[in-house]
Amino acid sequence: MSWEQLVETPQLLREGHLIYFTGGWPEPSGRNDKWFSVQRTQQVKYDVNRIVASGSSIDLDFAVPAGGGVGDKNLSLMPTAADTMYELLMSIKGNVLVYPIYNNSYFQKLEASNVIPDTSNGRLRYLGYWDEGDSPANEPKLREYIIKDQQAPVLRLYNDMFGDEPSQLRFIINHIKLVETQPPSQEMRRLARIATYHTSYKY
């Protein structure tokens, strides 16, 4: 995964922009250590609304369900074409804690043993989460790049309030068609976007 928490709302990639994929992306993708040019983009807004019961959590999987379409837990936010990339901006509305999960493990944690998010623990549930203040509805500051052959991200929504809590995740999906290109000049490299894929939290 490649979630980034940014200080300001980022500009979306546009036609002609360059992107470099560092090593670590799933091998079938053919992306590692290569340069690509953005050939075409289309922006799609996608609101996901859920009511989370007090003291409960809901997992939202970006994978496509077996029959296609979308489901209660499957959002179908994975590209299906090899030359496509999704650049996602995500904002949060409502009093929920949102945890990124990769390979059934919490993505954000600390170095000490057993210091990982735990929604059943009154202290550890406040570790490694995002909330409305981190990425407000009209100022999304969470960004993710997604390609066809990677493992689908998962987001866990947890409600630590006393009553049921309505929540909304708003995704701005920049649907990008990529074409491989030759390594650019050093000057152009400074303007390029770098896409890094993590299998665990990096510090």
pLDDT digits 0-9 by tens, 3-45: 899 999 999 999 999 999 998 898 888 899 999 999 999 999 9
Q: How confident is the model at residue 149 (pLDDT cuts 50, 70, 90)?
A: confident
The percent of residues above 70 in pLDDT, for the chain, comes to 97
Residue 47 lies in a domain: yes
Residue 200 lies in a domain: no
Q: Say how many domains are in the chain.
A: 1
Q: Which residues pair with 34 in a beta bridge?
A: 21
pLDDT in tens, 37-61: 999 999 999 999 999 999 999 999 9
Domain assignment of residue 108, yes or no: yes
In a domain, 203, yes or no: no
Q: What is the mean pLDDT of residues 153-182?
A: 97
Please report whether residue 172 resides in a domain: yes
Domain assignment present for 22: yes
Assess contact for 132 and 97: CB atoms under 8 A: no
- Exposed, middle or buried: residue 45 (CB in 10 Å: 0-12, 13-18, 19+)? exposed
Q: Is 107 within the bounds of a domain?
A: yes
Q: Which domain holds residue 35?
A: 4-195
Residue 133 has pLDDT above 50, yes or no: yes
Which residue type does 26 have?
P
Q: Is residue 201 part of a domain?
A: no
- Amino acid 145 reads Y
